[in-house]
Protein backbone atom coordinates (compact mmCIF):
# COMPACT_ATOMS: atom_id res chain seq x y z
CA UNK A 1 0.00 0.00 0.00
CA UNK A 2 1.28 3.58 -0.67
CA UNK A 3 0.83 4.63 2.98
CA UNK A 4 1.42 2.47 6.05
CA UNK A 5 1.08 3.92 9.55
CA UNK A 6 1.69 2.01 12.80
CA UNK A 7 2.64 4.41 15.58
CA UNK A 8 2.28 5.21 19.27
CA UNK A 9 2.61 8.59 20.96
CA UNK A 10 1.92 9.55 24.58
CA UNK A 11 0.98 13.05 25.78
CA UNK A 12 0.45 13.02 29.53
CA UNK A 13 -2.52 10.77 30.18
CA UNK A 14 -3.42 10.53 26.49
CA UNK A 15 -1.99 7.76 24.32
CA UNK A 16 -2.27 7.67 20.54
CA UNK A 17 -2.02 4.14 19.15
CA UNK A 18 -3.08 3.90 15.51
CA UNK A 19 -2.36 1.43 12.72
CA UNK A 20 -3.82 1.63 9.22
CA UNK A 21 -3.01 1.48 5.51
CA UNK A 22 -4.27 3.80 2.78
CA UNK A 23 -4.10 3.60 -0.99
CA UNK A 24 -5.36 5.88 -3.73
CA UNK A 25 -8.57 7.64 -2.72
CA UNK A 26 -9.71 9.43 0.41
CA UNK A 27 -9.58 7.89 3.88
CA UNK A 28 -11.40 9.99 6.49
CA UNK A 29 -10.44 9.98 10.16
CA UNK A 30 -13.77 10.59 11.89
CA UNK A 31 -13.88 11.34 15.59
CA UNK A 32 -14.66 13.81 18.35
CA UNK A 33 -12.33 16.67 19.28
CA UNK A 34 -9.27 15.48 21.17
CA UNK A 35 -9.42 11.86 19.98
CA UNK A 36 -6.06 11.99 18.18
CA UNK A 37 -7.05 12.67 14.55
CA UNK A 38 -4.96 15.81 14.02
CA UNK A 39 -2.09 14.38 16.05
CA UNK A 40 -1.98 11.46 13.62
CA UNK A 41 -1.57 13.82 10.66
CA UNK A 42 1.17 15.77 12.44
CA UNK A 43 3.06 12.56 13.19
CA UNK A 44 2.90 11.59 9.51
CA UNK A 45 4.01 15.06 8.43
CA UNK A 46 6.97 15.01 10.83
CA UNK A 47 5.76 17.87 13.01
CA UNK A 48 5.35 15.53 15.99
CA UNK A 49 7.73 12.62 16.59
CA UNK A 50 6.03 9.34 17.61
CA UNK A 51 7.43 7.43 20.57
CA UNK A 52 7.61 4.25 18.54
CA UNK A 53 6.44 2.57 15.36
CA UNK A 54 6.92 3.28 11.68
CA UNK A 55 5.50 5.31 8.79
CA UNK A 56 6.12 4.29 5.17
CA UNK A 57 4.93 6.30 2.17
CA UNK A 58 5.21 5.00 -1.38
CA UNK A 59 8.03 2.66 -0.38
CA UNK A 60 9.99 5.37 1.45
CA UNK A 61 10.39 5.02 5.22
CA UNK A 62 9.53 8.36 6.81
CA UNK A 63 9.84 7.16 10.39
CA UNK A 64 11.06 3.95 12.03
CA UNK A 65 11.86 3.98 15.73
CA UNK A 66 13.79 0.69 15.61
CA UNK A 67 15.93 1.74 12.63
CA UNK A 68 16.32 5.31 13.97
CA UNK A 69 14.86 6.87 10.83
CA UNK A 70 13.06 10.21 11.19
CA UNK A 71 12.99 12.26 8.00
CA UNK A 72 12.50 16.01 8.46
CA UNK A 73 9.15 17.42 7.29
CA UNK A 74 10.59 19.04 4.16
CA UNK A 75 11.84 15.66 2.91
CA UNK A 76 8.61 13.72 3.44
CA UNK A 77 6.63 15.21 0.54
CA UNK A 78 3.46 15.21 2.60
CA UNK A 79 1.03 18.02 1.85
CA UNK A 80 -0.77 19.11 5.01
CA UNK A 81 -3.48 21.77 4.97
CA UNK A 82 -4.32 23.11 8.42
CA UNK A 83 -7.71 24.34 9.66
CA UNK A 84 -6.54 27.97 9.40
CA UNK A 85 -4.69 27.30 6.09
CA UNK A 86 -1.34 28.55 7.56
CA UNK A 87 -0.62 30.95 4.71
CA UNK A 88 2.40 33.24 5.12
CA UNK A 89 0.73 36.56 6.07
CA UNK A 90 3.59 38.75 4.81
CA UNK A 91 3.54 37.10 1.37
CA UNK A 92 1.21 37.68 -1.56
CA UNK A 93 -0.78 34.85 -3.14
CA UNK A 94 1.89 34.47 -5.81
CA UNK A 95 4.70 34.49 -3.25
CA UNK A 96 2.91 31.84 -1.16
CA UNK A 97 2.76 29.60 -4.21
CA UNK A 98 6.40 30.26 -5.05
CA UNK A 99 7.30 29.19 -1.51
CA UNK A 100 5.39 25.95 -2.10
CA UNK A 101 7.26 25.37 -5.37
CA UNK A 102 10.70 25.45 -3.75
CA UNK A 103 11.49 21.90 -5.00
CA UNK A 104 10.77 22.92 -8.60
CA UNK A 105 13.83 24.02 -10.63
CA UNK A 106 14.13 27.80 -10.39
CA UNK A 107 13.69 28.31 -14.13
CA UNK A 108 10.34 26.50 -14.08
CA UNK A 109 8.82 27.99 -10.93
CA UNK A 110 7.16 31.07 -12.44
CA UNK A 111 5.49 29.03 -15.18
CA UNK A 112 4.28 26.42 -12.71
CA UNK A 113 2.87 29.10 -10.39
CA UNK A 114 1.15 30.76 -13.35
CA UNK A 115 -0.54 27.46 -14.24
CA UNK A 116 -1.68 26.87 -10.66
CA UNK A 117 -3.07 30.43 -10.39
CA UNK A 118 -5.14 29.75 -13.49
CA UNK A 119 -6.28 26.29 -12.34
CA UNK A 120 -7.66 27.70 -9.08
CA UNK A 121 -8.98 30.98 -10.49
CA UNK A 122 -6.49 33.06 -8.51
CA UNK A 123 -4.93 35.09 -11.33
CA UNK A 124 -6.58 38.38 -10.38
CA UNK A 125 -5.62 37.83 -6.73
CA UNK A 126 -1.94 37.09 -7.29
CA UNK A 127 -0.85 40.35 -5.64
CA UNK A 128 -3.23 40.14 -2.67
CA UNK A 129 -2.16 39.26 0.87
CA UNK A 130 -3.98 36.59 2.91
CA UNK A 131 -5.82 39.15 5.07
CA UNK A 132 -7.31 40.63 1.88
CA UNK A 133 -8.86 37.29 0.89
CA UNK A 134 -12.14 35.64 1.85
CA UNK A 135 -12.16 32.26 3.61
CA UNK A 136 -12.87 30.43 0.37
CA UNK A 137 -10.10 32.28 -1.47
CA UNK A 138 -7.63 31.49 1.31
CA UNK A 139 -8.59 27.83 1.06
CA UNK A 140 -7.97 27.81 -2.69
CA UNK A 141 -4.54 29.36 -2.15
CA UNK A 142 -3.73 26.74 0.50
CA UNK A 143 -4.79 23.92 -1.83
CA UNK A 144 -2.78 25.36 -4.71
CA UNK A 145 0.31 25.80 -2.51
CA UNK A 146 -0.01 22.24 -1.26
CA UNK A 147 -0.37 20.74 -4.76
CA UNK A 148 2.42 22.80 -6.33
CA UNK A 149 4.90 21.10 -3.99
CA UNK A 150 4.21 17.75 -5.78
CA UNK A 151 3.30 15.80 -2.63
CA UNK A 152 2.96 12.02 -2.50
CA UNK A 153 0.24 12.35 0.15
CA UNK A 154 -2.47 14.96 0.78
CA UNK A 155 -3.70 15.57 4.34
CA UNK A 156 -6.63 17.88 5.08
CA UNK A 157 -7.22 18.83 8.71
CA UNK A 158 -10.83 20.03 9.19
CA UNK A 159 -10.59 21.97 5.90
CA UNK A 160 -14.13 23.41 6.00
CA UNK A 161 -14.50 24.27 9.70
CA UNK A 162 -14.00 28.02 9.18
CA UNK A 163 -16.50 28.35 6.31
CA UNK A 164 -20.21 29.13 6.36
CA UNK A 165 -22.60 26.47 5.07
CA UNK A 166 -22.99 27.88 1.54
CA UNK A 167 -19.28 28.36 0.97
CA UNK A 168 -18.56 24.99 2.58
CA UNK A 169 -20.74 23.26 -0.04
CA UNK A 170 -18.93 24.99 -2.90
CA UNK A 171 -15.48 24.34 -1.48
CA UNK A 172 -16.33 20.67 -0.88
CA UNK A 173 -16.96 20.41 -4.60
CA UNK A 174 -13.59 22.06 -5.31
CA UNK A 175 -11.73 19.77 -2.93
CA UNK A 176 -13.48 16.67 -4.31
CA UNK A 177 -12.32 17.70 -7.78
CA UNK A 178 -8.74 18.11 -6.58
CA UNK A 179 -8.59 14.92 -4.52
CA UNK A 180 -10.34 12.90 -7.22
CA UNK A 181 -7.58 13.78 -9.68
CA UNK A 182 -4.77 13.19 -7.18
CA UNK A 183 -2.86 9.97 -7.85
CA UNK A 184 -2.13 9.03 -4.27
CA UNK A 185 -3.60 8.71 -0.76
CA UNK A 186 -5.68 11.49 0.76
CA UNK A 187 -6.33 11.72 4.50
CA UNK A 188 -9.24 13.86 5.67
CA UNK A 189 -9.74 14.72 9.35
CA UNK A 190 -13.26 15.68 10.38
CA UNK A 191 -15.83 15.39 13.15
CA UNK A 192 -18.70 15.95 10.69
CA UNK A 193 -20.27 12.63 9.65
CA UNK A 194 -22.13 14.11 6.65
CA UNK A 195 -18.97 15.77 5.36
CA UNK A 196 -17.07 12.53 5.75
CA UNK A 197 -19.71 10.53 3.91
CA UNK A 198 -19.68 12.96 0.98
CA UNK A 199 -15.90 13.28 0.76
CA UNK A 200 -14.39 9.89 1.63
CA UNK A 201 -14.13 6.47 0.07
CA UNK A 202 -13.19 4.81 3.36
CA UNK A 203 -13.71 5.83 6.98
CA UNK A 204 -11.66 5.17 10.11
CA UNK A 205 -13.54 5.95 13.31
CA UNK A 206 -11.07 7.22 15.93
CA UNK A 207 -11.97 6.89 19.60
CA UNK A 208 -9.68 7.77 22.53
CA UNK A 209 -6.52 7.60 20.44
CA UNK A 210 -7.28 4.31 18.70
CA UNK A 211 -9.03 3.25 15.51
CA UNK A 212 -12.33 1.75 16.55
CA UNK A 213 -13.64 0.75 13.10
CA UNK A 214 -12.27 1.11 9.57
CA UNK A 215 -13.85 0.24 6.25
CA UNK A 216 -15.81 1.31 3.20
CA UNK A 217 -17.96 4.37 3.98
CA UNK A 218 -21.23 2.63 3.08
CA UNK A 219 -20.40 -0.38 5.24
CA UNK A 220 -19.34 1.73 8.23
CA UNK A 221 -22.60 3.71 8.14
CA UNK A 222 -24.75 0.64 7.47
CA UNK A 223 -23.14 -1.54 10.15
CA UNK A 224 -20.87 0.53 12.43
CA UNK A 225 -20.30 -2.43 14.75
CA UNK A 226 -19.43 -0.53 17.94
CA UNK A 227 -21.35 1.91 20.11
CA UNK A 228 -18.74 4.63 19.53
CA UNK A 229 -18.87 4.22 15.75
CA UNK A 230 -22.68 4.30 15.79
CA UNK A 231 -22.68 7.58 17.75
CA UNK A 232 -20.09 9.20 15.49
CA UNK A 233 -21.98 8.17 12.35
CA UNK A 234 -25.12 9.84 13.68
CA UNK A 235 -27.18 7.13 15.38
CA UNK A 236 -29.10 8.90 18.16
CA UNK A 237 -31.22 5.96 19.37
CA UNK A 238 -28.99 3.59 21.35
CA UNK A 239 -29.93 1.36 24.28
CA UNK A 240 -28.12 -1.21 26.37
CA UNK A 241 -29.67 -4.67 26.12
CA UNK A 242 -30.20 -7.73 28.30
CA UNK A 243 -30.52 -11.05 26.52
CA UNK A 244 -33.78 -12.97 26.81
CA UNK A 245 -34.69 -16.49 25.61
CA UNK A 246 -35.76 -17.08 22.01
CA UNK A 247 -33.43 -14.59 20.32
CA UNK A 248 -35.03 -11.62 22.02
CA UNK A 249 -33.57 -8.87 24.15
CA UNK A 250 -34.76 -6.22 26.55
CA UNK A 251 -33.75 -2.73 25.43
CA UNK A 252 -33.17 -1.45 28.95
CA UNK A 253 -33.11 2.28 28.14
CA UNK A 254 -36.36 2.13 26.15
CA UNK A 255 -38.12 -0.44 28.37
CA UNK A 256 -39.27 -2.73 25.51
CA UNK A 257 -38.53 -6.25 24.27
CA UNK A 258 -37.10 -6.60 20.77
CA UNK A 259 -36.55 -9.35 18.25
CA UNK A 260 -32.97 -9.03 17.01
CA UNK A 261 -31.79 -10.06 13.54
CA UNK A 262 -29.41 -12.93 12.84
CA UNK A 263 -27.67 -15.34 15.22
CA UNK A 264 -27.19 -14.40 18.85
CA UNK A 265 -23.84 -12.79 19.66
CA UNK A 266 -22.31 -12.70 23.13
CA UNK A 267 -20.26 -9.58 22.39
CA UNK A 268 -23.30 -7.40 21.56
CA UNK A 269 -24.30 -5.22 24.53
CA UNK A 270 -26.16 -2.39 22.78
CA UNK A 271 -28.76 -1.96 20.08
CA UNK A 272 -29.39 1.11 17.97
CA UNK A 273 -31.69 2.36 15.25
CA UNK A 274 -31.30 5.50 13.16
CA UNK A 275 -34.19 7.92 13.55
CA UNK A 276 -35.20 7.74 9.89
CA UNK A 277 -35.42 3.92 10.09
CA UNK A 278 -38.33 4.01 12.56
CA UNK A 279 -41.49 3.05 10.63
CA UNK A 280 -45.10 4.14 11.16
CA UNK A 281 -47.79 1.48 11.75
CA UNK A 282 -47.92 -1.94 13.37
CA UNK A 283 -46.69 -4.09 10.49
CA UNK A 284 -43.97 -6.63 11.27
CA UNK A 285 -42.08 -7.28 14.48
CA UNK A 286 -41.12 -4.82 17.19
CA UNK A 287 -44.26 -2.68 16.89
CA UNK A 288 -45.17 -0.47 19.84
CA UNK A 289 -47.89 1.96 20.79
CA UNK A 290 -46.12 5.12 21.92
CA UNK A 291 -46.93 8.38 23.60
CA UNK A 292 -45.56 11.49 21.89
CA UNK A 293 -43.49 13.36 24.48
CA UNK A 294 -42.00 16.08 22.28
CA UNK A 295 -42.16 17.30 18.69
CA UNK A 296 -39.12 19.16 17.37
CA UNK A 297 -39.41 21.05 14.10
CA UNK A 298 -36.34 20.98 11.84
CA UNK A 299 -35.86 22.91 8.60
CA UNK A 300 -37.42 20.23 6.40
CA UNK A 301 -38.52 17.52 8.82
CA UNK A 302 -39.87 16.79 12.29
CA UNK A 303 -38.15 14.85 15.05
CA UNK A 304 -40.79 13.19 17.20
CA UNK A 305 -39.75 11.82 20.58
CA UNK A 306 -41.69 8.69 21.56
CA UNK A 307 -42.05 6.70 24.77
CA UNK A 308 -43.59 3.21 24.43
CA UNK A 309 -46.70 2.81 26.59
CA UNK A 310 -45.59 -0.63 27.72
CA UNK A 311 -42.38 0.76 29.19
CA UNK A 312 -42.38 1.03 32.96
CA UNK A 313 -41.26 4.38 34.34
CA UNK A 314 -39.74 7.35 32.54
CA UNK A 315 -37.53 5.57 30.05
CA UNK A 316 -35.36 7.25 27.43
CA UNK A 317 -37.54 8.35 24.49
CA UNK A 318 -36.99 6.97 21.00
CA UNK A 319 -36.37 9.60 18.30
CA UNK A 320 -38.25 9.36 15.01
CA UNK A 321 -37.42 11.62 12.07
CA UNK A 322 -40.00 12.00 9.31
CA UNK A 323 -41.01 14.51 6.67
CA UNK A 324 -43.26 17.38 7.59
CA UNK A 325 -45.95 16.09 5.24
CA UNK A 326 -45.90 12.63 6.85
CA UNK A 327 -46.14 14.00 10.39
CA UNK A 328 -48.92 16.43 9.52
CA UNK A 329 -50.91 13.44 8.24
CA UNK A 330 -50.25 11.38 11.39
CA UNK A 331 -50.16 14.05 14.09
CA UNK A 332 -51.53 12.58 17.33
CA UNK A 333 -50.73 12.21 21.01
CA UNK A 334 -50.44 8.42 20.65
CA UNK A 335 -48.95 6.67 17.59
CA UNK A 336 -47.89 3.14 16.66
CA UNK A 337 -44.43 2.60 15.21
CA UNK A 338 -42.19 -0.38 14.50
CA UNK A 339 -38.46 -0.87 14.81
CA UNK A 340 -37.75 -3.31 11.95
CA UNK A 341 -35.28 -6.02 13.03
CA UNK A 342 -33.27 -5.58 9.83
CA UNK A 343 -32.77 -1.90 10.69
CA UNK A 344 -31.47 -2.57 14.19
CA UNK A 345 -27.74 -2.06 14.75
CA UNK A 346 -26.17 -4.65 17.04
CA UNK A 347 -23.28 -2.94 18.77
CA UNK A 348 -20.31 -3.98 20.88
CA UNK A 349 -18.69 -1.85 23.60
- Convert the pLDDT of each residue in 246-268 to its tens digit: 889 999 999 999 999 888 888 99
Taking alpha carbons only, the member of 141, 156, 139 closest to residue 98 is 141
Please tell me the distance from the alpha carbon of residue 258 to that of residue 251, in angstroms, as a whole number.
Answer: 7
Q: Contact at 8 Å (CB) between 49 and 43? A: yes
Which residue, among 208, 222, 167, has the nearest Cα to 15 in the 3D structure?
Answer: 208
pLDDT tens sequence across 26-38: 999 999 999 999 9
Cα 248 to Cα 20, 257, 260: the distances in Å are: 36, 7, 6
Closest listed residue to residue 273, CA positions, set 292, 258, 294, 283: 258
* CATH number for domain 235-347, candidates 2.60.40.2580, 2.40.50.100, 3.30.1520.10, 2.40.30.10: 2.40.50.100
Who has greater pLDDT, 297 or 109? Answer: 297
- pLDDT tens-place string over residues 104-154: 888 888 888 998 898 888 999 999 999 999 888 888 898 889 888 889 999
Residue intervals in the chain for CATH 2.40.50.100: 235-347
Name the class of domain 3-231: alpha beta
Number of H helices, E strands in the chain: 9, 21
**Where in the chain do CATH 3.40.50.300 domains reside?**
3-231
Residue 171 pLDDT: 80
DSSP code, position 347: E
Our measurement of the distance from residue 48's CA atom to the centroid of its chain's CA atoms, rounded to an integer in Å, reads 22
Does the predicted model carry a pTM greater than 0.85?
A: yes
Which DSSP symbol is given to 226? Answer: B
Amino acid sequence: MPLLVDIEKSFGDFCLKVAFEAGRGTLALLGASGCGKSMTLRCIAGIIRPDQGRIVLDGVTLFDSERHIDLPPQERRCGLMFQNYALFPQMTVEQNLLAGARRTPRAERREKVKGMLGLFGLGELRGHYPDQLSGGQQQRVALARMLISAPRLLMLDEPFSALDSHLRFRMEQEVRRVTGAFDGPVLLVSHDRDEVFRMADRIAVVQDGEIDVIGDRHKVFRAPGTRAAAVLTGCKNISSIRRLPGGRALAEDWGVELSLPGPERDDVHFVGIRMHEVRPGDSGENAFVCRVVEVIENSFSFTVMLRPLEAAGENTPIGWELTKETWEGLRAEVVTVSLPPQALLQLTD
